[in-house]
Amino acid sequence: MRGRNPRKSANPSLAQLADFKVGVDNVIFSVDTAQNRLLVLLVMRHEDPFMGQWSLPGTLVRQGESLEDAADRVLAEKIRVENLYLEQLYTFGGPNRDPREAPTSYGMRYLSVSYFALVRFAEAELIADGVSGIAWYPLQQVPPLAFDHNQVLEYGYRRLRNKVEYSPVAFEVLPELFTLSDLYQFYTTILGDHFSDYSNFRSRLLKLGFLHDTGVKVSRGAGRPASLYRFDANGFAPYKDKPMVFI
């Protein structure tokens, strides 16, 4: 008696509870350092609602699946990538945000938990299944999206800038070896042109002591060759969990 729906009879208010399907939508960013562009991954919808419109890659949560598992699954279906950063963004759950919440659907609600991801661009191989449209869009050229996804994207972009300023995500997403210019470009692409003078940026980061100069030089066209650096997790340890600024 107890186990099977114990309160439906005892408490009349239970009847008023909303039933939900839970969706997961991912805001997946990537930085193309070569072209200096900040990209977001969009997919074309092949189903109603919003058939034929671009949207953030998403899915509905399955039985026995955790939210983060679902987020991972969407990612894995769209791109093959080894290094990534993933965290929960925000939960959008107002009524009427999904047209499937029709009066005819017995009051079923659709709630969306959004996730934020940053992936290594060079490694991120898009999975083209022949049919589905899927593409990296430069942030400035994003078209009107399905659902409230433009809003979600806006929110994700804000989070991206914060993350990048206050945590070392950059190194999870840059190549193993990188020049200080690469690093500077990375920040410039996300934060805008005038976030810092290059030379000051340089000395500040080097003074922190978690960038290890491999001594190897690379030449990119004209100009003096640059040293390749490596992120040193040990050297970073003292800053771990402490607030810090990369601006």
- Judged by the rule CB under 7 A, the positions of this chain that interact with DNA are 179-181, 196-200, 202-204, 206, 217, 219-227, 245, 247
Pairwise CA distance, residues 68 & 115, whole Å: 8
| Stretch near a second copy under the rule CB under 8 A, chosen from 104-112, 118-126, 132-140, 220-228 | 104-112
Q: Within a 13 Å sphere around the CA of 40, how many CA atoms are in the beta-carbon half? A: 26
Kindly list the distances between the CA atom of residue 180 and the CA atoms of 82, 227, 239, in Å, as whole numbers in the listed order: 23, 8, 20
Which partner in DNA, a second copy, none is near 154 (CB below 5 to 8 A by kind)? none
E strands present in 98-186:
108-119, 125-126, 134-138, 177-178
Binding mask 49-78 for a second copy (x = CB under 8 A): -----------xxxxxxxxx----------
Residue 128 binding a second copy, by CB under 8 A: no
Question: Could you say which of DNA, a second copy, none residue 73 binds, taking C-beta under 5 to 8 angstroms by partner kind?
Answer: none
**Cβ-based neighbour number of residue 116 at 10 Å:** 23
Identify whether the C-beta of residue 70 lies closer than 8 Å to the C-beta of residue 84.
no
64 binds, among DNA, a second copy, none (CB under 5 to 8 A by kind): a second copy
For the CB of residue 102, give the shortest distance to a second copy in the complex, in Å.
Answer: 6
